[in-house]
Structure 1
Amino acid sequence: MHIRDLPYADPGRPDVRSGPRLLLWLGRNQLGGQLKALLWGVVHMSSVALFPLAVGLTVQAVVDRSGARLALAGGLMALFGALTALGDTMLHRAAVTNWITAAARIQQLLARKTAELGATLTRRVAAGEVVAVSTGDVEKIGWFVEALSRFASAAFTTVAVCVALVVYQPALGAVVALGVPVLTLAVLPLLPPATRRADEQRDKAGRATELASDTVAGLRVLRGIGGEELFLSRYRRASQEVRRAAVRSARMWALIAAVQVLLPGLLLIAVVWYGVGLARDGRMGVGELVTVYGMVTFLLFPLRQFEEIAMAYSFSRPSAQRAARVLALHRTASPEQDSEGHEGALTGDLYDPATGLLAPAGEMTAVVCGDPDAAGLLAERLGGHAAEAGEGVPSVLLGGVALDAVPLDAARAAVLVQDKDPVLLSGTLAELLDVPCSGAVPAEAALEAAECRDALDSLARSSAAGSAGPMAARITERGRSLSGGQRQRLALARSLVTDPEVLVLDEPTSAVDSHTEARIAEGVRRLRHGRTTVVFTSSPLLLDRADRVVFVRDGRVAAVGAHSELLRRDRVYHAVVTRQTDEESDRELVESTTPAAGEQIEESA
């Protein structure tokens, strides 16, 4: 896999049972790149390790006054130098390619999972964690993948050097062969506390990121209530906790780095002291001593790779665990069920077995829930996300077909759910309304039904290309230049343009005045004639124009009928819709059902 071939046509199905299994899955999918990096790493490190041999031969040739061996040693030095440069360059190229391709694979998987789950993703995973996984965690996972091949080549070269030293100079080689494993294992007791401190730092950093993202998202509200300083102080405390945790983690890793310098230094001193004694006794030459010294010095380089792989794994393991947790989220149907598909278009009545809610085909059904959060969850369920209600809850049925048992594209094409806080992406109005659609609803008709005239005028005034028409007007990020009601109505127009078989609207007019709301209710009813529309609302204006009203209480359908009928006969429904207390509702119902004084006299007569 080359960087120029990205993105992947199919990033594959990851092993998300745990973080280490996800890392192993990444490694298996990069086997060719890892072997290439391993090969170039061996070339690079072997050339560095053999360079002292050429230096030793040079020294011995000078001592022996041999011009031929001096020329040979010079040629070896040039060869090893060239191989070192080539191996280092190609190793870096291959390792960075592994890093980038692994990160790209994870990012593609996260993007695919985000598209699959939609708005339910942030209901099940904090938004700050999603941001952390898709940015910092992806980088740490890529770091481990990149370091793995360099560690493998360092381990292979270290073993080869130890064996070569035992063969070349058995006395000193035995000292080195025994000392290197001790050096490698010496830092193992320090790794668990270092890992714990690193985990603590990442947890605190994740909480601080989540706090920051939530604060930015609610900045307008915070300014309205004067709460900026309160949340700023909270973030200041969280960032200081992150700083202290980072310092504690850095101290432990600094200790590990110090041990990795101290112990090899002691080994080097021991080898030199022992080697000088052997040279003094005539048991080895000066050139041989220089060669052994150079090779032992080289061993300091691969030992640093051992430290790096330990650090990379300790950082990437929890990152991979978080990524696996996000990637493990799925719709309630198994992948096998999801791939079976469903022949033909999904049509018919929309029915939720969990609540008993029925939305007949071709009608406008209004749903009243006393709890706004419950309404939002039920709206998501109607879009085929049965997992939001918990394990074991049956899927919503459309024409008798379970939505979570059909391919995701088919479910999304059949049922569109507009969240109560829809997002407008930056771009022109034409780009906003350029969505997958049936083509039966023109953009102009949708804008008219959603009462977007003032929004169009506002966009035209603020746009530099005002003369080009409102469709060329630009919308700023998240529609921040528009009012809340204007954003809501433009989002409604976008949903109407799509013209799905079933349109689910969650509080589509909560930010508009009553006169505009009445016109929107008429416009939506007219434009959606013959299509199934479900509106979650407690607005009397919308409820009065619905074909039927369903009252959901405590997770079950409590009453079904016309709005006026439910007002008369259901006390709880009356209280929810009119926003009255129970006592006020009871008194109003008694007054509406008690005959007037004049009527009582006539009846008694």
Structure 2
Amino acid sequence: MQLRDLPHTDPGEPDVRSGHHFLVWLGRMQLGGQLAALLWGLVWMLPIGAMPLAVGMAVQAVVDRDGGRLAGAGALLIVFGGLIALGDSMLHRAAVTNWITAASRVQQLLARKAADLGSVLTRRVAAGEVVAVSTGDVEKIGWFVESFSRFTAALVTALAVATGLVVYAPELGVVVALALPVLALAPLPLLPYATRRADDQRAKAGRATELAADTVAGLRVLRGIGGEELFLDRYRAASQEVRTAAVRSARMWALIHAVQVALPGVLLVVVVGHGVGLARNGTITIGELVTVYGAVTFLLFPMHHFAELAMAYSFSRPSAKRAARVLGLARTAAGTGADTGTDAGALGGELHDPATGLRAGAGRLTAVVCGDPDAAGRLADRLGGHPAEPGGLPSVRLGGVALDDVPLAGARAAVLVQDKDPMLLSGTLAELLDVPASGAVSPAAALAAAQCGDVLTALAQAAVGVPDAGDEPMGAPITERGRSLSGGQRQRLALARSLVADPEVLVLDEPTSAVDSHTEARIAEGLRELRAGRTTVVFTSSPLLLDRADTVAFVQDGAVVAEGPHRELLHGDVAYRAVVTRETDDEKQAAADSPRSDGGAVRDEGGVPRMMEETA
């Protein structure tokens, strides 16, 4: 495969039983590239291993004053030099191609898995681990895949040189052949120690990185309470632990390299000492002694490749294990997600979750009140056909069709789930709102319903002087994650994006948590009008949204315990009122002792407790 062919048309289905199986699978997937690297590696290394033979011939020709043999030896040196140059350049090309191809395959697999699971991915695996796998771990995995073919070429060349020495000079070749396995296996007892130290270094580096990221993210708050020095001291301590672990790891790898240099050096001394005695006795010629000396010196070269493969494997094994763990996550535990022949375009009707008993009527605005925000997030994911945790729970059904049995693209086209912390990508406002949509809702209507008037004004001011923006808010740039906007502005833009998509079912998780009460009331009315005739589910505890819903479902301990209009539940369900009004224990007791059915709350003319408007 050539680099111009990337990305892969299909990265394949990885073997994620373990990190080792994943590495083997990667090697099999680019077997052609591995064979090409092996071939060019042999073209490069075999002439290097044979170079001592030509040098020995030249030396012996000089001793014998044989001009013809000297010219032949010179010709061999020229040929070997050309092959070395060709093999070196082509091996580098093939090795880099293998490295980038493997890294690209892993990144495509990770991107596909992230798109498959959506926001559920970070519920099952820490976001930092996903980032680590897609950056540093990908490089380490590619390094092992790339180094394996060079190791194979070095192994074949070393065996060929040892065999040639046995045939060329049996008196010395046998010594080299017997010593070669010892040289190759001597560092193996040290590898487990080196691997453990390398793992310890990576773990401490990961903790230091997480601490640094958390500190940067909360820097504004830390400065407000004067805590930046405290966290800076913690990071200093963590970085020193990383430094100490790195030094310990480097010492072990230095010891391994020292062993791989010292033992061949000892072998070289023994061979030369024995060879000098044989040359004095006339058993071997001076040229043969020079050839054996050069061949033994060459054996230092493949030893370095053996050490590199050991190091690459020790670093890539935990990386491959992490990648396999992430890639092994499934969309669902019970459903197959396979194409069952269901027409995704025909999906519609009531949205029903058998696990909790939640029912969202077709074409109605249903609000869900859940005292546990994490449970609300998991339920919102389930409604989109993406279970947050595998547990064999029954699939959510839309119009009687199990979403787990619908192709992923079809399920997402029918049900759109907006997280409580939606992501805004960098680009212009027009690009932000350019999403797959039915076309029934214009961007202007969606922005109006989401009450984005002040956001448009701010973006129009930011667009002044921006090339190609045309002083229009739709051409204004939005920074990464919308950092240039306030939390409420980001939330409203994300809501507008979801409204533009106009899915059959829209699930919103706390869409107005960062919005003031007056704006929230207008958003509630705009949402109700724009989504008329469409199924909408809103997870919220805001009275302003609840009062405008067609029906409210109260979920407690993983099940719907009450349903009905907001005001009826407020009057008749003490637990529901406690969640919505944020009552304290003392207030609950006072409400229970009060003879009034509404718990003594002061009401306005519309029947909504004033205390709720204040807390909203």
Is the contact between residue 335 and residue 404 of structure 2 (CA under 8 Å) also seen in structure 1?
Answer: no
Deviates more, 1:366-375 or 1:335-344: 335-344
Name stretches of at least 5 consecutive residues in structure 1 with no aligned partner.
597-605
Correspondence 1:522 to 2:529: no
Correspondence 1:67 to 2:67: yes
How many residues end up aligned between the 2 structures? 595
Correspondence 1:502 to 2:497: no
Counterpart CA distance in 2 for 1:331 and 1:320 is 21
Report 1:306-385 matches (<5 A).
Answer: 306-332=306-332, 337-345=337-345, 346-385=347-386
Report 1:548-559 matches (<5 A).
Answer: 548-559=551-562
Deviation at 1:475, TM superposition (A): 1.2
Q: Which residue identity does 2:115 align to in structure 1?
A: A
Is the contact between residue 42 and residue 153 of structure 2 (CA under 8 Å) also seen in structure 1?
Answer: yes
Q: 1:280 to 1:340 in 2, by over 3 A?
A: farther
Deviation at 1:336, TM superposition (A): 5.3
Counterpart CA distance in 2 for 1:223 and 1:351 is 47
Deviation at 1:220, TM superposition (A): 4.0
* TM-score (norm. length: structure 2): 0.94
Deviation at 1:27, TM superposition (A): 0.5
Counterpart CA distance in 2 for 1:35 and 1:334 is 41
3-state SS, counterpart of residue 596 of structure 2:
helix
Counterpart CA distance in 1 for 2:92 and 2:335 is 38
Correspondence 1:592 to 2:593: no
Report 1:350-499 matches (<5 A).
Answer: 350-386=351-387, 388-464=388-464, 465=466, 468-499=471-502
Counterpart CA distance in 1 for 2:597 and 2:32 is 81
3-state SS, counterpart of residue 422 of structure 2:
coil
Counterpart CA distance in 1 for 2:499 and 2:238 is 44
Counterpart position of 2:22: 22
Is the contact between residue 333 and residue 392 of structure 2 (CA under 8 Å) also seen in structure 1?
Answer: no
Q: 1:213 to 1:403 in 2, by over 3 A?
A: farther
Deviation at 1:329, TM superposition (A): 0.7
* TM-score (norm. length: structure 1): 0.96
Q: 1:15 to 1:492 in 2, by over 3 A?
A: same
Q: Which residue identity does 2:507 align to in structure 1?
A: V
Q: 1:580 aligns with which of 583, 587, 594?
A: 583
Counterpart CA distance in 2 for 1:361 and 1:217 is 41
Listed one character per residue, the Cα deviations across residues 237-293 of structure 1 (whole Å, up to 9, x for unaligned) are 222222111111110000000001100000000000000000000001000100111
Deviates more, 1:372-381 or 1:35-44: 372-381
Correspondence 1:544 to 2:547: yes
Counterpart CA distance in 2 for 1:540 and 1:487 is 22
Counterpart CA distance in 2 for 1:336 and 1:514 is 43
Is the contact between residue 571 and residue 586 of structure 1 (CA under 8 Å) also seen in structure 2?
Answer: no
Is the contact between residue 548 and residue 562 of structure 1 (CA under 8 Å) also seen in structure 2?
Answer: yes
Counterpart CA distance in 1 for 2:508 and 2:225 is 29
Q: Which residue identity does 1:44 align to in structure 2?
A: W
Counterpart CA distance in 1 for 2:566 and 2:449 is 22
Deviation at 1:383, TM superposition (A): 1.3
Is the contact between residue 555 and residue 562 of structure 2 (CA under 8 Å) also seen in structure 1?
Answer: yes
Counterpart position of 1:275: 275
Deviation at 1:219, TM superposition (A): 3.7
Q: 1:595 to 1:405 in 2, by over 3 A?
A: closer
Deviation at 1:342, TM superposition (A): 2.1
Q: 1:593 to 1:302 in 2, by over 3 A?
A: closer
Counterpart position of 2:609: none
Deviation at 1:519, TM superposition (A): 0.6
Counterpart position of 1:254: 254
Is the contact between residue 381 and residue 389 of structure 1 (CA under 8 Å) also seen in structure 2?
Answer: no
Correspondence 1:45 to 2:45: yes
Deviates more, 1:370-379 or 1:39-48: 370-379
Counterpart CA distance in 2 for 1:220 and 1:569 is 44
The alignment yields a C-alpha RMSD, in angstroms, of: 1.7
Deviation at 1:221, TM superposition (A): 4.0
Deviation at 1:554, TM superposition (A): 1.2
Q: Which residue identity does 2:506 align to in structure 1?
A: L
Listed one character per residue, the Cα deviations across residues 26-45 of structure 1 (whole Å, up to 9, x for unaligned) are 11011111111111111111
Deviation at 1:459, TM superposition (A): 1.0
Name stretches of at least 5 consecutive residues in structure 2 with no aligned partner.
601-616
Q: Which residue identity does 2:516 align to in structure 1?
A: D
Counterpart position of 1:115: 115
Deviates more, 1:219-228 or 1:171-180: 219-228
Q: 1:62 to 1:594 in 2, by over 3 A?
A: closer
Q: 1:234 to 1:92 in 2, by over 3 A?
A: same
Q: 1:478 to 1:202 in 2, by over 3 A?
A: same
Deviation at 1:435, TM superposition (A): 0.6
3-state SS, counterpart of residue 16 of structure 2:
coil
Is the contact between residue 365 and residue 549 of structure 2 (CA under 8 Å) also seen in structure 1?
Answer: yes
